[in-house]
Structures are given as C-alpha cells and as structure tokens.
Amino acid sequence: EAQVTQNPRYLITVTGKKLTVTCSQNMNHEYMSWYRQDPGLGLRQIYYSMNVEVTDKGDVPEGYKVSRKEKRNFPLILESPSPNQTSLYFCASSSGTGVMPQHFGDGTRLSIL
C-alpha cells in the first residue's frame, strides 16, 4: 500500500530536549516536505526536499532541521524544542510539486511543555 508514515503520532516532551520526527514514504517520490498546522493559520511549510541531499527552507524554518540522506526518508529534527513549536506536523511526498498531488502522512501531534 502506498503510504507516508510518520512516527511518533503523539509526543509530549519538555523544552530543550532534542527530538526527531521520522517520515518515510514507499512510493519512490523525489519530493518531500514538512508542514505544521496551527488553528487559524492553516498549513505552513517548514522545509522541503526536491531530491536526495537537496533541501530548502519553507516559510517557517526557524528552530527546525531536516536531512535527506535517502530518497524514502525525511526526518524533522527539533534541536532545542520550545513551547511555540507545539503543533500538528505533517509530512508529505510527491513525484513533483505543483503538478502532482501531495500524499500526506497522518500527522504527529507535538506538545512542548
């Protein structure tokens, strides 16, 4: 089954404790992206990757890091999480960007205390 898998689905942690949210897709997609969703603000892009070893900033990259060492994986790293990073996070992939539909994971709900 074609899917984008995120882990964990839920996480409560404390300020400053490094965390990684994993994202894996099994569709051989070149393009992967991370979004955060906050009430009233819709989805905002954090980082995206056009292919292996190619990443770029989205609209709200501050406080986040990503890497793309393999085509299927695109982890999101919060080196020193803060409460304003409490949000619902989505990973997405596609074989292109505007022309091709994005396939989304089911989301990761992060709470930073």
Partner 1 sequence: SQQGEEDPQALSIQEGENATMNCSYKTSINNLQWYRQNSGRGLVHLILIRSNEREKHSGRLRVTLDTSKKSSSLLITASRAADTASYFCATDDAGTASKLTFGTGTRLQVTL
Of 92 and 110, CB closest to partner 1: 92
Q: Least Å distance between CB 20 and partner 1? A: 19
Query: What is the Cα–Cα distance from 104 to 4, expressed in whole angstroms?
Result: 6
Tokens 């997609």 locate to 29
Q: Least Å distance between CB 106 and partner 1? A: 5
Interface with partner 1 (CB under 8 A): 4, 33, 35, 40-45, 48, 50, 56, 58-59, 90, 92, 97-99, 101-107
Of 71 and 103, CB closest to partner 1: 103
Instruction: Return the SS3 of 70.
Output: coil
Of 70 and 106, CB closest to partner 1: 106
Query: What is the Cα–Cα distance from 57 to 97, expressed in whole angstroms?
Result: 15
Q: Least Å distance between CB 16 and partner 1? A: 28
- Which residues, 6 or more positions from 73, have their beta carbon under 8 angstroms from its beta carbon? 22, 23, 24
